[in-house]
Amino acid sequence: MIELLQKVRVIDPVSEIDELFDVLIADGYIREVASHISDISSDTQIRDCQGLVLGPGLVDLYSHSGEPGFEERETLLSFLQAAAAGGFTRVSILPDTSPVIDNPALVALQQKKRGGTRGQGGQGGNFSPLSSPSSLSSPLPLLHLWGAITVDIAGKQMTELADLASAGVVGFTDGKPLENLALVRRVLEYLQPLGKPVAFWPSDRQLTANGVMREGTNALRFGLPPIPTSAETTAIAAMLELVATIGTPVHIMRVSTARSVELIASAKAAGLPITASTTWMHLLLDTKAVKSYHSSLHLDPPLGNPSDMAALRTGVRAGVIDAIAIDHTPYSYEEKVQAFAEAPPGAIGLELALPLLWQYLVETEEFTALELWRALSTNPAECLGEKVSAIVPHQLAELTLFDPQQTWKVERKSLYTLSQNTPWLGQQLKGHVVQIWC
């Protein structure tokens, strides 16, 4: 298939370009990028892309899949379809399935399942919020698997890290707080020669206790048990001390407080080999939103105070926070229909993140389009030890085509994910992915 995208806005963080171009794509490769392309064959499909945005495929650092063990929440196929519909060409699944991905056999099983969910074609897929999700016929994103650091992510005994690395995991994390610092130190020592990323979620669960909301005036006003900022910052400080001592590069997940951004900025300035990410919802909402007591706003870590959200946004723009993760966490209707404090923490996001981030950060001119796209594509890939190619001739087409103005309603029939735990359910959104190439 040969496609000519005319007058498309190309956003390329690799080349630092945000300009209008014609882009010719043939047989899965970018063939030409120019201000005007007229020399084309008769079988070329021409698309007027005025008003559309073309960027590198989005990359998600970490999210949850229900399969195996919780298929009523999400299957591997529905997860990958949701990711494709959200513009993602690479996704990374956390190991906290049932059973946990803590040995090579389970890695092989997940990879085999991925092989059975490939879409038809392989060059591009079209998505419409008006069509039935079941009609999706498209390539699916590249699937990465995080391997568990500890057996059954119980935090007591290390997995066979070298065996998991050989089995093809993208890196190591439990996706849950690991508070045994002696074990963390040993993990960092063991991982040094393997050259695989390792990600930790620093959180002191004793300080967290039974809290469900960030400590502050809004927590008092809403009558919800608070979580102090120190639950995160003390754990980050301890992690940074270990990295300074041992030297193994570390990725810090789910950064959610202003003080954490300060600690990470200081550590980077001192030359520590760390990267960091926050989640998309922590950039869009703060504790004021919890006034609705919507159970999908119960997150872990919790939404920050307004000063935290502002610091996270500044941190992403400045590169202190390297990447925006989706942390897609599906739950069934029955699991989430509970009181705020009783519902399990987490929300879906693969199909919602790009439209909402664009609408509230780019269209308001708080972020440039390049800054947002970098934090959703090239930077997450680098955190995984990978690279995303520039949008130039002779490169494989790994691209996302996005319409910032297309409106659609978030409802069951417009979502590919099996779950609906989002505070935006029933609302009209502006912005939708048109096509991906991967």
What residues act catalytically? 327
Given CA atoms 158, 385, 243, 346 in this order, what sign does their dihedral have? negative
Q: How far is CA 5 from the centre of its chain?
A: 27
Q: Are 379 and 322 spatial neighbours (Cβ–Cβ below 8 Å)?
A: yes
Report the C-alpha gap between 270 and 251 in whole angstroms.
16
Residues 6+ apart with CB under 8 A from 82: 74, 328, 348, 350, 351, 415, 416, 417
Strand ranges, E, within 13-141: 17-26, 29-34, 45-48, 53-56, 58-63, 88-93, 125-126
Report the C-alpha gap between 136 and 126 in whole angstroms.
8
Asked if residue 345 has a cis previous peptide bond (ω within 30° of 0), the answer is: no
Report the C-alpha gap between 131 and 387 in whole angstroms.
33
SS3 assignment, position 157: coil
Residues 6+ apart with CB under 8 A from 374: 13
Report the C-alpha gap between 28 and 117 in whole angstroms.
19
**DSSP letter string over 111-127?**
HHHHHTTPPSSSS-EE-
Report the C-alpha gap between 401 and 29 in whole angstroms.
15
Task: Name the burial class of residue 126, with classes exposed (0-12), middle (13-18) and buried (19+) by CB atoms within 10 angstroms of its CB.
Answer: middle
Q: Give the length of the chain.
A: 438
